[in-house]
Amino acid sequence: MASLNSPDSSPPNISFSINQTRKSTTTSSSATGHRLYRSISTKEPSFSQFPFTPPHLNNNCPSLPQSLHNSPTSSPLHPTAAAAAAKLSDHLISHRCVSSVLKKDGQILSIAMFNDILYTGSDSNLVRIWKLPDFTECGQLKTKASMAVALQVSHDKVYAAYSDCKIRVWRRSWDRGLKHSRLATIPATGSYVRSYISGKDKMMKHMGPITSLAINISDDILYSSSLDKSVKVWRISDFKCIETIQAHSEPINAIIASADGLLYSASDDATIKVWRRNFSRSDHPPHSLVITLPANFSPVKTLTLDTNSTLLYGGCSDGYLHFWLKGWFSGQLQYGGALQGHTHAVMCLASVGKYVVSGSADSTCRVWARDEVDCQLHTCLAVLVGHRGPVRCVAAFFGSGSEEAVEEGEGGCTICSGSLDGVLKVWRVTCTSNGTPNQDLQNGTDYFDL
């Protein structure tokens, strides 16, 4: 097993209980060997027992007072962090809640987006379908199972993982409008029974709740992670399980697949592991461990990659957002720093262009902008306050969410956030140079308020 050469690469045998309180210290990038500690949130209960926080704003979701923009802006490990904050003086930054929807489906647990279609999963047996950017409901996916804890969407398929440890698959088509037809259940009941009788666990479903899904379209692969500490590899063409990776020593919270075929897994064992699929050598397992990235002894709850898969972000239980950078020549991941600001666990992440959005159990979302020259510099552009419960899932996109809009979205982004308070919110964050007309007005985009 490979590991990153770092003083933190072999954490001591300590408890990862969220009740533990740690001493807060300050570190710098010149002393990356020092550990990064801070006080972390109180006990992290299950989805059904999350403590709701008092309301922050009224239903109109007004903009935050300016004082909230003066929160920690960038990585405390970077020696020139003040440079990123100084650049804000040349920009006009604004944000507002443009829509807020309560469907009484229970907690919002998952979000997935493809082009201008958004899918949301909740406690109920419905996966709701929304049309962007006007954010109108345009359909539903119904099952007998409830609690859609993870969603993934490709061009022609929708995958939803439910609390019964199974994955439902729908085919998407555009015959006189968007249509969905039920395609399969993974694993099929017959396959599960046959593998149980034969004593083979390849086809058996996860032994614990599924936590995350990831797709590698080029290799025809669907990945699923679980609290049973394993990652299962499913072949999309026939929905057969072709491998079970015993990935971590503790429950796995999130997985993500990159464009270059790597798989990243995050766990309560306070590490992120990187896996590569082997094609050439039959004496090697189908997936092998490339490197283990330590996360300063804090359970890693969520992951995201930038558009080019050169930066990896991991949100942790201590409220920090750690990131790693891939070297231009070596291709190896090196620790880049940590973004601080959340007071409770970071539960979800999304990335679009130079923006990274983090949702937390402190009931807020933070929008971070990465410097275009020095990608280690990050600035907190906005703190989105309005949810009355932990933010469980987020999605971010430019304009209408279409690929053509990516180049036009340099002035800001649109964010969808789902919370355990059962509310789905849409936010618009703009960042324009002084004297430049608002990007929304330039593009003629019409957003509506409640």
Looking up residue 420, the CATH number of its domain turns out to be 2.130.10.10
Residue 21 in any domain: the answer is no
What is the structure's pLDDT at 203?
52
Q: What is the number of H-type helices and E-type strands within the chain? A: 3, 28
Residue 215's pLDDT is 96
CB 168 within 8 A of CB 222: no
Lowest mean pLDDT among 36-45, 120-129, 178-187, 204-213: 36-45
Residue 383 confidence (pLDDT) above 80? yes
Q: How high is the pLDDT of residue 88?
A: 53
Structure confidence at residue 62 (pLDDT): 36
Element (H, E) at 302: strand 300-305
Which pLDDT tens digit goes with each residue over 259-295? Answer: 888 999 999 999 999 999 887 666 567 899 999 999 9
241 within a domain of the structure (yes/no)? yes
**Total domains in the fold of the chain:** 1
Name the average pLDDT for the chain: 77
* Cβ atoms of 275 and 300 closer than 8 Å: no
With respect to residue 25, please indicate whether it lies within any of the assigned structural domains. Answer: no
**What is the extent of the structural domain holding 328?**
52-443
pLDDT digits (tens, 9 = 90+) for 413-449: 999 999 999 999 999 998 776 654 444 433 333 333 3
Look at 237-251, 299-313, 398-412 and tell me which has the smallest mean pLDDT.
398-412
pLDDT at 391 over 60: yes
What is the spatial distance between Cα 362 and Cα 389, in angstroms, rounded to a whole number? 8
- pLDDT over 90, % of the chain: 55
- Res. 176 pLDDT band, cuts 50 70 90: confident
pLDDT for the residue numbered 327 = 82
Q: What is the pLDDT of residues 295-318, one digit of tens each?
A: 988 999 999 999 889 999 999 999
- The answer to whether position 3 is within a domain reads no
pLDDT digits (tens, 9 = 90+) for 338-361: 999 999 999 999 999 999 999 999
Q: Is residue 230 part of a domain?
A: yes
Residue 139, beta-bridge partner list: 129
Query: Is residue 28 a part of any domain in this protein?
Result: no
Q: Is 280 part of any domain?
A: yes
Domain for residue 37, yes or no?
A: no
Tell the residue number behind the tokens 């704003």, with chain if given: 57
For residue 409, the 8-state DSSP code is G
pLDDT confidence band for 89 (50 / 70 / 90): low
